[in-house]
Amino acid sequence: MTARATDGRRAAVLGSPIAHSLSPVLHRTAYAELGLDGWSYDRFEVDEAGLPAFFDGLGPGWAGLSLTMPLKRAVIPLLDEISETAASVEAVNTVVFTEDGRRVGDNTDIPGMVAALREHGVEEVDTAAVLGAGATASSALAALSRVCSGEVVVYVRSAARAAEMRQWGERLDVEVRTADWSQAAEALHAPLVIATTPAGTTDALAAAVPERPTTLFDVLYEPWPTELAARWSMFGGAVVSGLDLLVHQAVLQVEQMTGRAPAPLEAMRRAGEKALAER
């Protein structure tokens, strides 16, 4: 699933909204470090309605695309093939244009989560908790299928979301139990907590951080740190950030699109940190 690493190739990130995306910073840094001077990486504001026309307008110089919301499912009918990982959550965040003209989709969010956890010493846990039940939560469950050997408790705000998460658990072969969001403070005692909610949602939980927290994976990277992450770190717990996830999934995208491995993880991380600090 690799594209030929030749000069003059193009790649980009698509989504709506897209102006906030750090992907151009990360990918351009990788190209510079890898000596791919002729490569370019841009961002384009594209919604679901405009996606087919964007694909129709792509020329032979394109190596690949990164996709963010709301396009991760909308892109699937436009592809020739998707990986098992992408199919498992019905979400594609990476498209590679192969040398024979095929459009191949993958999901690097899931292995990116696993890689970020392992970088912080989390190889396996016997139970875990997930805060939230949106699209990122299903990717979190897929990642947990690789690192959690037991029950995953997902804290949700509605019966509909609870049913959806249980269905994802069955599909991903993850033992899922759901609990009401009013009990979310209990999640903070799990060996691994993954927060998948929008900014501000978990702020009220910061006061409930236990004296000896374990590992928190907060998928946000802006604003950072979240109140929960700051309190967790203050009490000595390990914190995995959304930037960790973003960098690890981008590393995998760069490797697939360019055919060059390993991608420069540390240089990409430094570039992302610098860009965030300048905002």
Q: Which residues contact 80 (CB under 8 A, 6 or more apart)?
A: 102, 103, 104
50 or 8, greater pLDDT: 50
- CA triple 124-105-240, angle to 5 deg: 30
| pLDDT for res 220 | 96
Q: What percent of the chain has pLDDT over 70?
A: 97
| pLDDT for res 6 | 52
| pLDDT for res 8 | 80
Stretch 207-219: mean pLDDT, rounded?
98
Q: By CB neighbour count within 10 A (0-12 exposed, 13-18 middle, 19+ buried), where does 100 fall?
A: exposed
Average per-residue pLDDT in the chain?
Answer: 96
Task: Report residue 2's pLDDT band, with 50, 70 and 90 as the boundaries.
Answer: very low
Sheet holding 176-180, edge to edge: 176-180, 152-156, 128-131, 192-195, 215-218, 238-240
Three-state secondary structure call for residue 55: helix
Q: Give 37's Cβ-side CA count (13 Å radius).
A: 0
Q: Which CATH superfamily is domain 111-240 in?
A: NAD(P)-binding Rossmann-like Domain (3.40.50.720)
Residue 66 has pLDDT above 80, yes or no: yes
| pLDDT for res 53 | 98
Active site members: 72
| pLDDT for res 62 | 97
| pLDDT for res 1 | 41
Residue 3 has pLDDT above 50, yes or no: no
| pLDDT for res 33 | 98
pLDDT tens-digit readout, 162-207: 999 999 999 999 999 999 999 999 999 999 999 999 999 999 999 9
What is the third-level CATH fold of 10-107+250-277?
A: Rossmann fold (3.40.50)
Domain ranges of the chain: 10-107+250-277, 111-240
| pLDDT for res 19 | 95
In CATH terms, are 10-107+250-277 and 111-240 the same topology?
yes
pLDDT tens-digit readout, 85-143: 999 999 999 999 999 999 999 999 999 999 999 999 999 999 999 999 988 999 999 99
Residue 77 has pLDDT above 70, yes or no: yes
State pTM to two decimals. 0.94
